[in-house]
Structure 1
Amino acid sequence: MDDLIRLLIQNERIIGNKNKNLKLTKEEAHYLNKVMRIKIGREIFITNGQGSLWKAKKLEQNFLEINNIDNPYFVQEKEKVSLGIAVVVPKNGFEDILKMCTEIGIDLIQPLFSERQVKNNSNFLKRNIRWNSIINEAVEQSERLWRPLILGGVNLIDWIDSRDSKDIISISITRDDSSENLNHWLKRKQNLLKKNGGVLWNVVGPEGGWSRNEIEFFLKNKISFVKLSETILRTSTATVNATSILNQWRNDLKLNNYL
């Protein structure tokens, strides 16, 4: 595939331009003109974050010409198994979590708050604009065609109660020798997941660990505990590690023609 600069643009804006000329937003124009210094007449790739890729040509400072809108340059099918990471938002490092999990290949990101959260992040709505911008930049940088979805922040227990019955959830935990390694747990769940077609989630807790009430809730609801490492990981490290394990598991299934 050609090595061209990529720009993520909402699908509605792409397909809505029947005249083939797409007007750039102020931020998009700044990125192409000032940051990447794309000259008039040069080609770039644009993606809708929903699996499609088009070639576009810069016409002038604020416009792109898209050829063959109804026939994209490349189309990638959506993954048959969706991977989700749910994480109690830490005091520091959440933006790095968004970048790295997007680059690795997560499909859904669920910000949570819990009893032992260092800082109550109740202003999720205000921060959501920045978080989405960070994800967009990571999609462009990593050349992903499917953009992960970041969901609205919610209380941990409320979130679990609202999950689809097809979803499969594991809870990352430390200092519990009886917990199964996430890799081993995934191998046992692959037949069930293929049958149900839900989202496979791993939940990463706060720096202070899960509270007694939360542990009792997990046990009552028969949610599996898993461990990510033999060492104690910070929330940001644990989240990226879990995402990497999930993505490698899915890639192995595809390599072996299981998915």
Structure 2
Amino acid sequence: MIAVVAERRRLLIDSCRLQCADEQRRFALEDHESRYLRRVLRLRPDDQVDVVDGCGHLWTARLLEDHRLELCSGIEAASQQVGAPSPKLGLAIAVIRRGMDDVMRMACELGVDQLQPIHCQRCVPQAEHRPDRWRSIVQEAVEQCERLWAPELSELRAVDDWWEAPDGSDLRLIAVTRAAEITPLSVLLADQASADQSIWLAIGPEGGWSDRELAAAAAAGWVPVSLGGTILRSSTAAVAGITSLTNWRTLRC
């Protein structure tokens, strides 16, 4: 007979707030968290919820009457603890007019560790830039997909300032189209000897990279890769690329 474990929803709480819990391991909920637990999940006092800090730890907590949570164990005695994913996977994506919300959500669900929105020459003026909404989407995705490590979402940067930003030891890949003799991402990953160095994948805007941007990327050590034989929308390319990277990491680890 197979035992069925009842689902218990998760709440992502910043580790600083958890560290500031009182002697009874209690801390106050913010208004939106209280509404979520009581009105959306319909939890009642004494019901339990799992709390994660986005840094590899999970605790069981109990909902109290006065809009607070009480950890069922000490902060030093997490119910679950896992190390950070290795190697780290980063996605740098040009802001686009439609689809950024989906990219943020799906990249988080698939396991990306760093998210870097970038502004490129051919980004349209109507391109979405909603960092507060993206942070909310990422938080909800972490809770929904049961990750213990939350991805880092960085502020928007101009691509000209971005090429040199990743560590020089990172494997830095840039997705390109309509270029002859470009190595497919899957082939490059199959030949990747090390599973330790971080990997970045850069996805351009719907209008594609400019010649100046491609030259700057090449000068900074970015390696061009192909994501397939068809032309993909930026949002599709981001999901396809991250899927290949996370599948590779799963098989290598």
TM-score interval, smaller chain: over 0.9
Alignment of 1:184 with 2:183, yes or no, is no
1:42-91 superposed Cα distances (whole Å, 9 cap, x missing partner): 11100001000000011115011102222001101111210000000101
1:72-120 superposed Cα distances (whole Å, 9 cap, x missing partner): 0110111121000000010111011000000110000000011111127
In structure 2, relative to structure 1, the CA distance for the partners of 1:119 and 1:74 (3 Å cut) is same
CA distance in 2, matches of 1:188, 1:108: 23
**Which amino acid is the alignment partner of residue 186 of structure 1?**
L
Which residue does the alignment assign to 1:17?
21
Which residue does the alignment assign to 1:80?
86
In structure 2, relative to structure 1, the CA distance for the partners of 1:177 and 1:2 (3 Å cut) is farther
- Report the secondary structure of 1:110's partner residue: strand
Alignment of 1:110 with 2:116, yes or no, is yes
CA distance in 1, matches of 2:221, 2:146: 38
Aligned-pair CA distance for 1:216: 2.0
Aligned-pair CA distance for 1:18: 3.3
2:163–2:216 Cα contact (<8 Å) kept: no
- Taking structure 1 as the reference length, the TM-score comes to 0.90
Mapping of residues 210-225 of structure 1, within 5 Å = 210-225=209-224
Higher alpha-carbon deviation: 106-115 or 178-187: 178-187
1:212-251 superposed Cα distances (whole Å, 9 cap, x missing partner): 1112223333421101121111000100111111100100
Which residue does the alignment assign to 2:61?
56
- Report the secondary structure of 1:70's partner residue: coil
**Which amino acid is the alignment partner of residue 111 of structure 1?**
P
1:154-190 superposed Cα distances (whole Å, 9 cap, x missing partner): 1112111222212211110111241111011123233
CA distance in 2, matches of 1:70, 1:112: 38
Structure 2: which 5+ residue stretches go unaligned? none
Higher alpha-carbon deviation: 157-166 or 90-99: 157-166
**Which amino acid is the alignment partner of residue 220 of structure 2?**
N
- Report the secondary structure of 2:64's partner residue: strand
Q: 1:94 aligns with which of 86, 100, 112?
A: 100
**Structure with greater proportional helix content:** 1
In structure 2, relative to structure 1, the CA distance for the partners of 1:2 and 1:46 (3 Å cut) is farther
Structure 1: which 5+ residue stretches go unaligned? 255-259
Higher alpha-carbon deviation: 204-213 or 127-136: 127-136
Higher alpha-carbon deviation: 178-187 or 244-253: 178-187
1:76–1:145 Cα contact (<8 Å) kept: yes
**Which amino acid is the alignment partner of residue 56 of structure 1?**
A
CA distance in 2, matches of 1:5, 1:173: 40
1:90–1:119 Cα contact (<8 Å) kept: no
**Which amino acid is the alignment partner of residue 17 of structure 1?**
A
1:99-154 superposed Cα distances (whole Å, 9 cap, x missing partner): 00001100000000111111276x95xx3222111100010011111000111111
Q: How many residues align?
A: 247
After the TM superposition, list the runs of 4 or more consecutive aligned residues in structure 1 that deviate by more than 6 angstroms. none
Which residue does the alignment assign to 2:246?
247
- Taking structure 2 as the reference length, the TM-score comes to 0.93
Mapping of residues 157-196 of structure 1, within 5 Å = 157-191=160-194, 194=196
- Report the secondary structure of 1:189's partner residue: coil
CA distance in 1, matches of 2:46, 2:149: 27
2:90–2:113 Cα contact (<8 Å) kept: yes
